[in-house]
Amino acid sequence: MKTIRIVIIEDDAILRKGYATILGKVEDYSIVNTYSSFDDARKSLESDDPDVILLDIELPGLNGIDAIPIIKKAIPKTHIIMLTVYEFEDQIFNALSNGASGYLVKNTPMPKIIDSIREVRDGGGPMSAHIARMVIKSFQKNDLSPLSKRETQILEMIRDVKNRKQIADELFIDPETVKSHLKNIYAKLHVNSKSEAIEAARKNRLI
């Protein structure tokens, strides 16, 4: 059973020490260092060589989300779990697309945090329940779409940067038919170009 090396970056001293104390008591967990800002942590990333970093978002100096790419560049194999009060979609998706492997909200009970560290090391993606649902929802479309099935399908192909002829060929219809559908799509979305249609459709999760 290999020890899991953990670094905590959290500006709240009470939380930081609390996490460190409790996690340090887990048999195969080792708190290699704790920091109150990423700026402090930055120069010691390689020497700390953590398996898992618990990372807050709201930090003095560089914020946690912007810190992720720097961490991944310095120590790519390290798993980053966000541990934060923020539950805004933007922050969640930015954290994940920047390279975080987990996302926990701060009222997460300690046993779940403890499990999450092992889970992320073992190839899992620990998330708070609510966060996981938001992530799943991001794959789903709005079921109150004004667009018909065919229109949705064609708009998705426009999104994939295909032109009318390519779409026509794939759907075995005439390019003029595609054009007609596009006219109807533009009318329904109150736009008059491909890019505007995509923007409107994305905003309303129609595609």
Within 10 angstroms of residue 21's Cβ, the number of other Cβ atoms is 10
Question: Please, are residues 158 and 194 in contact by the beta-carbon 8 Å criterion?
Answer: yes
Binding site partner of 176, from DNA, a copy of itself, none, Cβ cut-off 5-8 A by kind: DNA
Examine residue 127 and tell whether it contacts a copy of itself (CB under 8 A). yes
**Total chain residues near a copy of itself (CB under 8 A):** 43
Examine residue 76 and tell whether it contacts a copy of itself (CB under 8 A). yes
Smallest gap from residue 124 Cβ to DNA (A): 32
With respect to a copy of itself, which residue has the nearer C-beta, 32 or 93? Answer: 93
Examine residue 142 and tell whether it contacts a copy of itself (CB under 8 A). no
> Which one, of 43, 83, 77, 52, lies nearest residue 65 by Cα?
83
Could you give the CA distance from residue 206 to residue 175 in angstroms, rounded to a whole number? 23
Could you give the CA distance from residue 141 to residue 115 in angstroms, rounded to a whole number? 32
Binding mask 81-120 for a copy of itself (x = CB under 8 A): ------------x--xx-xxxx----------------xx
Integer Rg of the chain from CA: 23
Smallest gap from residue 144 Cβ to DNA (A): 12
With respect to DNA, which residue has the nearer C-beta, 130 or 165? Answer: 165
CA 47, distance to chain mean position in Å, is 27
Within 10 angstroms of residue 38's Cβ, the number of other Cβ atoms is 24
Binding site partner of 76, from DNA, a copy of itself, none, Cβ cut-off 5-8 A by kind: a copy of itself
Tokens found for residue 53: 């970093």
Smallest gap from residue 111 Cβ to DNA (A): 42
* 3-state class (DSSP) for residue 55: strand
Angle at 79 between CA 122 and CA 89, to 5 degrees: 110
Q: Rule CB under 8 A: which residues touch a copy of itself?
A: 72-73, 76, 93, 96-97, 99-102, 119-120, 122-127, 129-137, 139-141, 143, 158-163, 166, 194-195, 197-199
